[in-house]
Amino acid sequence: MGKPTGFLEFERNPIPDRPPLERIKDWDEIHEPFDESKLRDQGARCMDCGTPYCHTGMLISNMASGCPVNNLVPEWNDLVYRGKWREALERLHKTNNFPEFTGRVCPAPCEGSCVLGVIEPPVTIKSIECSIIDKGFEEGWVVPDPPKTRTDKKIAVVGSGPSGMAAADQLNKTGHSVTVFERADRIGGLLTYGIPNMKLEKWIVQRRVDLMAAEGIEFKTSVEIGKDLSAKQLMDDFDSVVLCCGATKPRDLPIEGRKLEGVHFAMDFLTRNTKGLLEAKDVTAFEMAAKKKDVVVIGGGDTGTDCVGTSIRHGCRSITQLEIMPRPPDERADNNPWPEWPKVYGLDYGQEEAKELFGQDPRQYLVSTKKFIGDDDGNLQGLLVHDIEWQEKDGRFTPVEVAGSEREIPAQLALLAMGFLGPEDTIVEELGLERDGRSNVQAEYGKFSTSMEGVFAAGDMRRGQSLIVWAINEGRAAARECDRFLMGETTLP
């Protein structure tokens, strides 16, 4: 801790976003440049708190408290304050393979558990993390570092999202030969096609992929295991397999009118948008574009927010976001104490843009959809919705319709952003892997081994839909156990 009075002298000042009405005109990253001296001041706010929670990564009330990859936050905050950026980068890379991703898209549970946050706005940990890695690339400090020797072990990693990339990166460091299989045409998984460009520009993902390739990792795109190449063949060709296929089975809404033209899964919408941007440079050309349409997003969370921001950039006529849960309080509730993740009301970038453009937060809380309404040609025209209240029955809370609250909302595009149910079945069924009660691949946390010897599972495929930072945590840990399985011991953290 370099400045004991820093938290008294400097106010919280995260990296600012560009003005909403300016940034919705393009697909560039929403953040503005930030002066290095201001970042050093922000690092100075980190307290000598004695028992820091920011790096713990504990689960409290089923939510992350502190950083799941156990970033050495107080250390690199202090190093940034002292101007020792390269040392800060070394500390950051000790725990996090891809800080350029988490520094942009992680919801920052570290800040929710910051000790300073008990009495003041927390330290801008996420901004500092992102600035460290960005400066590392700018200064040329982040360069390929291939292993000096190679083992005779070959490992297949299936899936190139954050867990797959982390597992591959770690296993390659030990000298194993790693091949990553991805069914899409580009590497990155949800980093590429699930997160829109304004949150994470795709050249940033590709930069890391290129670095990993230069270190000896082989990437194979447009190869779907179970279809283009059997999972059993993979077992024959490699010494071990790490499955990081994600939880890509979306939760549907099987109500009347679901088959109408204009009702789509959110991830299909976001994927097609990014493909259009990367390939045709015209993201409004495909049939699901939101231009001049009334758009309704069903579901909250990051995916719902991304649909809001994307629809606005398409030029939608209106945007509504339906939430079945109540509006969060403005401050922590008594049953949500620090250091739990703070469940409080806030505007994410998409809602901020909608409010600026249309005059109000697009979210409607405690609302459920009863029916999709179409015209004579089978095109979506609106939604029949109603208010709900949560009532306890037999020890469980269930949504109950509020009498007389039924109404129609105009919509020519409805996007289902209600989360995911688990991994797809193809590989799991071919290998006969055991599942848990939520249909995820059964693999104990800390061991990550599945019911088939030599096959490991990590990330959303094992734990269910979760945060990118948890995916990195699991990819790193699964790599450690895979290395132990192959070599009898491991030096991986």
What are 221-274's pLDDT values in tens digits?
Answer: 999 999 999 999 999 999 999 999 999 999 999 999 999 999 999 999 999 999
Q: Is residue 115 over pLDDT 80?
A: yes
The second-level CATH assignment, the architecture, of 6-138 is: Orthogonal Bundle (1.10)
Residue intervals of the chain classified under CATH 3.50.50.60 are 154-248+421-487, 252-418
- In this predicted structure, the answer to whether residue 288 has a pLDDT above a threshold of 90 is no
Which residue has tokens 């003041």?
120
Q: Is the CB of residue 211 less than 8 Å from the CB of residue 429?
A: no
Q: How many residues does the chain have?
A: 493
CATH topology of domain 154-248+421-487: FAD/NAD(P)-binding domain (3.50.50)
| Inter-residue contact 382 to 399 (CB < 8 Å) | no
Look at residue 281 and tell me whether its pLDDT is greater than 80: no
Buried residues in 215-244 as b, exposed as e (16+ CB within 10 A): bbbebeeebebbeebebeebbeebbbbbbb
Structure confidence at residue 2 as a pLDDT band (50, 70, 90): low
- pLDDT, position 472: 98
Own/partner pairs for 195-198, CB < 8 Å, 24+ apart? 195/105, 195/270, 195/306, 196/27, 196/270, 196/273, 196/274, 196/306, 196/309, 196/310, 197/27, 197/28, 197/29, 197/274, 197/277, 198/23, 198/26, 198/27, 198/28, 198/29, 198/30, 198/309, 198/313, 198/349
Q: Which region holds residue 137: left if phi is over 0, alpha if psi is between -120 and 50, else beta?
A: alpha
pTM given for the model: 0.95
CATH fold of 252-418 reads FAD/NAD(P)-binding domain (3.50.50)
Domain(s) labelled CATH 1.10.1060.10 in the chain stretch across: 6-138
Proportion of the chain above pLDDT 90, given as a percent: 91
Tokens at residue 393, please? 């029955």
* pLDDT score at 286: 65
148 phi and psi angles, rounded to 5 deg: -75, -30
Q: Please give the average per-residue pLDDT across 304-332, as a whole number.
A: 96
Residue 11, burial from CB neighbour count under 10 angstroms (0-12, 13-18, 19+): exposed
Helix axes 36-44, 125-138, angle to 10 degrees: 140
Helical segments of 316-368, H only: 349-358
pLDDT at 62 over 90: no
**Tokens standing for residue 74:** 């107080």
Q: Which of these ranges, 133-147, 159-173, 285-299, has the smallest mean pLDDT?
A: 285-299
Report how far Cα 342 is from the mean position of its chain's Cα atoms: 18
Residue among 453, 460, 409 nearest 438 (CA): 460
- Confidence check: pLDDT of 340 > 80: yes
Token pair recorded at residue 323: 């939430």
CA-derived radius of gyration, the chain: 23
Triad 401, 298, 264: Cα angle to 5°: 130
| Strand residues in 227-298 grouped as ranges (E) | 240-243, 249-250, 263-265, 294-298
Q: What value does the mean pLDDT take over residues 67-76?
A: 95
CA distance 20 to 73: 30
Of 161, 122, 157, 175, nearest in space to 10 by CA: 122
What is the percentage of the chain residues whose pLDDT exceeds 70? 98
pLDDT, mean of residues 26-45: 93
The answer to whether the CB of 65 falls within 8 A of the CB of 59 is yes
CB 19 within 8 A of CB 189: no
8 Å CB contact between 264 and 298: no
Sorted by sequence, the CB contacts under 8 Å of residue 334 that are 6+ apart come out as: none
Please report how many Cα atoms fall inside a 13 Å half-sphere around the Cα of residue 57, on the Cβ side: 17
Question: How many whole angstroms separate alpha carbon 106 and alpha carbon 133?
Answer: 15
**pLDDT tens by residue, 353-382:** 999 999 999 999 999 999 999 999 999 999
Residues 6+ apart with CB under 8 A from 290: 310, 311, 314, 315, 316, 413
At 413-453, the pLDDT tens digits run 999 999 999 999 999 999 999 999 999 999 999 999 999 99
